[in-house]
Structure formats: C-alpha cells, structure tokens
Amino acid sequence: LLHLADRFIDVPSYLSSSALHPAGSPADGIAVLFWWMTAGALLIWIVVVALGVYVVRAAPGDGRERQAKRLVLWGAALSTVVLTALLVYGLVLLPRTMAPAAADTLRVWVHGEQWWWRIRYQPAASPAFVLANEIRLPVGRPVEFLLESDNVVHSFWVPSLGGKMDLIPGRTNRLLVRPTRVGTFAGMCAEFCGRAHATMRLTVLVVPGDEFERWVAEQVAEPAEP
C-alpha cells in the first residue's frame, strides 16, 4: 500500500476543519442542533425498526385492526409534534446568521476566481490590500464576509466557523461569523465550479486582536501582491 502511496501527487497538508468541533459562531449553535437531531433521529430509528420486528413476530388476534389504526394515528400525531418542536428550535438559530452587522464588525471581501480566493481588506482610512487563499481574523470580533464572483457560482465554507454561502455572479451575499478560538482552520469551495474545484481551498488564521492589528498595519505599509 505504501508503494502505491508513493505514486500519488502531493496534496496540501491537512488543516483542521470540522463542523463538529466548532471554533466560532454560528458553527457552535449548529453543532449543538446537530447533536440533538442525531440523538432524536437515532431514537426514532430504533423505535421504527423495533416496531418492524414486532409486527412481523406478533401473532394475529382480536383487536389487531384497532391497534393498527391506532399505530397510524399515533405515528402521525407524534411525528407532527416532534417536527414542530424541532422547527421552532432550529429556526431560532436563523436570526443569528442573518442579523445586520454590529458596529465593530470587521468586513472582509471574498471574491471567487477559477480556482482561488481573492481576499480584500478595506481598513478605515488606509488603502485596501489583497491576499490569495488566506484570511486572518481577530478572535472574538464579529466578521462579515461580502461574497462576490464575476465568473461562475462558488460557495464559501469554513466548517469550523459557520455554514456556507454561495458567491453568485451579479449579487453580493453576506455571511456573518464570530471566531471564538485561536487557531488555523481550513476553508473550501463547496459549489462545483469547474475543473479544479477540488483544490480551491483557503486557510483561515484566527489570531488575538492585538496581533491582528499589527498584521493589518504591516499589510497597509507594504501592500501584498495577490
């Protein structure tokens, strides 16, 4: 197997990325929602399969028809209750992802290219600067990504921080996140965008606030080549 492995091309080294180990909001809320839903789903699945086993083994007898009808009615009623509860709980999370940006929000412009990410910062009162495939964020501060593309549809996704949002030609989409943990996280394009879609990835470095400010000052002083 190792011999085979030698034949394979080099791939970028793995970066941490997991929707299940969140390092920001709303990924943390979504992960909790996921675990609740998974637990509930598992329970329901066990009940249905157990029912399946039971109905095959149960001997026919008096009153079975009434039981069968009751099974259908209770099944429908319980599904409705469970789904409604879940809907209410899940939708409460929605406003967090779509609220208007707060005053101290950092704005980062993300432009999808074929097949890389053009990242633009626009600090107040200083020139903009541009990077490729790398985003640096201060921990704890809300960030608004402004997502644009003038070629094909892409989708911006950093699983550790939050859900994804599409970059659609002719539109500007927003995505709000707030990193809660310092670290290096992987991002990727989630919407098929052509030949090298698989390698359209980016790195997100979440750093302490003062370190971020120093970095911005350096970038402004010496504009980076994209």
Partner 1 sequence: MTPDIEPLEQAPPQEVRQAQEARLHTAWNPPTGWRYFSEVNNSAVGMWYTALTVAFLVFGGVLALLMRIQLAVPGNTFLEPDTYNQVFTVHGSVMMFLVAIPLFEAISILFLPAFLGTRELPFPRLSAYGLWAFLIGGVFLCGSILFGAAPNGGWFMYPPLTSRYEPGIGADMWLLGFSFIEVAAIAASVELIVGVLKSRPVGMRINLIPLYAWYVLVAAAMVLFAFPSLIAGSLLLELERAFDWPFFDPTRGGDPLLWQHLFWLFGHPEVYIIFLPSVALVAMMVPTFARTPIVGYEWIVLSAIGTGFLSFGLWVHHMFTTGLPGISLALFSAASMAVAIPTGVQIFCFLGTLLVGRVVRSVPLLFVFGGLATFVIGGLTGVMVAMAPFDFQAHDTFFVVAHLHTVLIGGTLFPFFAASYYYFPLATGYALSDRLGRICFWLVFIGFQVTFMPMHVSGLLGMPRRVFTYPSDPNLNLLNLTSTVGAFVLAAGFAVFLWDVLRPKRKQGHSPRNPWGSGTLEWLPELPAKPWGLRSIPEIDSRYPIWEQENFERDVDEGRFFLPDAEELKREMLVSSVIDARPEQCLRISGPTYVPLVAAIFTGGVFIFPTFKMWAWMAVSAVLALGAILYWLWTATALIPEKDEKYIGHGVSVPLYRSGPSSVGWWAMLITMLADVSAFAAVVFGYFFYWTLRPEFPPGGIAGPGTLWPAVALALLLTAWGLTFAARRWNATDQATFFYMAIAAGAALALGGAASLLAGPWTHHMMPSQHVYPATVWVLVAWTALHAVVGVVMQLYCGARRWAGRMSAKHDIDIWNTTLYWHFVALMAVVTVVVVAVFPRLR
CA distance 95 to 26: 10
Q: Contacting partner 1 (CB under 8 A), which of 19, 130, 146, 220?
A: 19
Q: Contacting partner 1 (CB under 8 A), which of 102, 171, 218, 223?
A: 171
Q: Which lies closer to partner 1 via its Cβ, residue 79 or residue 126?
A: 79
Greatest CA separation for the chain: 86
CA distance 72 to 65: 11
Q: Which amino acid is at 214?
A: R
Please list, residue by residue across 50-86, b when 16 or more beta carbons sit within 10 angstroms of its beta carbon and e when fewer do: eeeeeeeeeeeeeeeeeeeeeeeeeeeeeeeeeeeee
Please report, as residue ranges, which positions from 51 to 110 form the binding site for partner 1 (by CB under 8 A): 51-52, 54-60, 64-65, 67-69, 71-72, 75-76, 79-80, 83, 86-87, 90-91, 93-95, 97-98
| Interaction between residue 41 and partner 1 (CB under 8 A) | yes
CB of 32 to partner 1, least distance (A): 10
Q: Which lies closer to partner 1 via its Cβ, residue 138 or residue 162?
A: 162
Q: Contacting partner 1 (CB under 8 A), which of 130, 153, 182, 220?
A: 153
Binding-site size, partner 1 (CB under 8 A): 90
Q: What is the DSSP string of 119-186?
A: EEE--TTS--EEEESEEEEETTS-EEEEEEESSS-EEEE-TTT---EEE-TT--EEEEEEE-S-EEEE
- Region from 28-36, 103-111, 121-129, 132-140 binding partner 1, contact rule CB under 8 A: 28-36
Identify which of 216, 193, 163, 165 has the alpha carbon closest to the alpha carbon of residue 31: 163
| Interaction between residue 50 and partner 1 (CB under 8 A) | no
| Interaction between residue 27 and partner 1 (CB under 8 A) | yes
| Interaction between residue 116 and partner 1 (CB under 8 A) | no
